[in-house]
């Protein structure tokens, strides 16, 4: 049970594995307005930067779960670096179907709603929110990091550059907001990525891949990642940057 090795190579230079920078992540933590000691479950937690920095700066506690053994190892290291290993923990496990006991104050899934299953964005969002809801106390918060179409692609090239097979792979923002309401959730806070934070996330992958390619010319993944680096900057700058939005939506069950 693990992610392909290419994921850890691609994310080798990143601590936040989504289109947020450290300022937006800090803004989100403060926006929750929770007391110190509040407990968070973070599904598909990546390298644990959210839990570690919020524990350091805001006194939150929590558990992160991720299917990547290398990400979990990095998260454990980060917790020790920041001196918060007594307040946060990390578990190598499949986030899909994972339920927290005891109930948390916050349950989050930041950019990995595929854990909810289903062929369309509606199915994934519905399944992920249902899973998160099982782990929070009454009145608890759900954090959903989700991409959406800022501008609908008008060409197959643009669609493919956004790693989508059909337009229904991502929601348009009005449809996503309507879906939250249909599922009986109030949207109570939001922090959005912007083009700068998208650039930082995307470009850090290019540099990580290039440095890995230089250091590993004979690796079996060299050809695959060389092809990715050839395409990724153009895809991001010409298409992803203008077509895709991303935000963290803070929700409460009505």
pLDDT tens digit sequence for 29-82? 999 999 999 999 999 999 999 999 999 999 999 999 999 999 999 999 999 999
CA–centroid distance for 133 within its chain: 18
Dist. CA 190–CA 124, nearest whole Å:
19
pTM of the model: 0.96
Is residue 89's pLDDT more than 90? yes
Residue 104: what are its φ and ψ, rounded to 5°? -90, 165
For each of the domains in the chain, give its residue range(s) and CATH number, in order of start. 5-253 (3.40.50.150)
Cis omega (within 30 of 0) for bond into 102: yes
Which stretch of DSSP H or E encloses residue 29? Answer: helix 22-31
Q: How far is CA 68 from CA 11, 154, 215, 222, in A?
A: 12, 35, 23, 21
pLDDT tens digit sequence for 189-241? 999 999 999 999 999 999 999 999 999 999 999 999 999 999 999 999 999 99
What is the structure's pLDDT at 243?
Answer: 97
DSSP per residue, 156-198: HHHHHHTT-SSGGGSEEHHHHHHHHHHTTEEEEEEEE--HHHH
């Amino acid at each position: 049970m693990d992610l392909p090795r290419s994921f850890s190579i691609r994310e080798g230079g990143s601590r936040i594995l989504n289109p947020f920078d450290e300022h937006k992540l800090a803004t989100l933590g403060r926006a929750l307005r929770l007391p110190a000691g509040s407990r968070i479950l973070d599904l598909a937690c990546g390298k644990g930067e959210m839990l570690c920095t919020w524990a350091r700066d805001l006194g939150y506690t929590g558990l992160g779960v991720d299917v990547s053994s290398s990400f979990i190892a990095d998260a454990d290291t980060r917790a020790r670096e920041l001196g918060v290993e007594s307040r946060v923990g990390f578990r190598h496990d499949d986030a899909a179907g994972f339920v927290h006991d005891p109930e948390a104050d916050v349950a989050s899934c930041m950019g990995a709603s595929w854990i909810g299953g289903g062929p369309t964005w509606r199915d994934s969002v519905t399944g992920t929110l249902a899973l998160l809801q099982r782990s929070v106390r009454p009145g608890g918060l759900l954090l959903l990091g989700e991409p959406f179409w800022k501008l609908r692609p008008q060409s197959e090239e643009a669609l493919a550059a956004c790693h989508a097979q059909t337009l229904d792979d991502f929601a348009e923002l009005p449809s996503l907001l309507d879906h939250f309401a249909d599922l009986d959730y109030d949207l109570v806070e939001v922090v959005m990525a912007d083009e700068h934070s998208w650039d930082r996330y995307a470009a850090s992958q290019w540099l990580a891949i290039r440095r890995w390619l230089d250091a590993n010319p004979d690796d079996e993944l060299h050809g695959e990642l060389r092809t990715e680096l050839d395409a990724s900057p153009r895809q991001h700058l010409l298409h992803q940057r203008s077509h895709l939005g991303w935000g963290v939506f803070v929700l409460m069950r009505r």
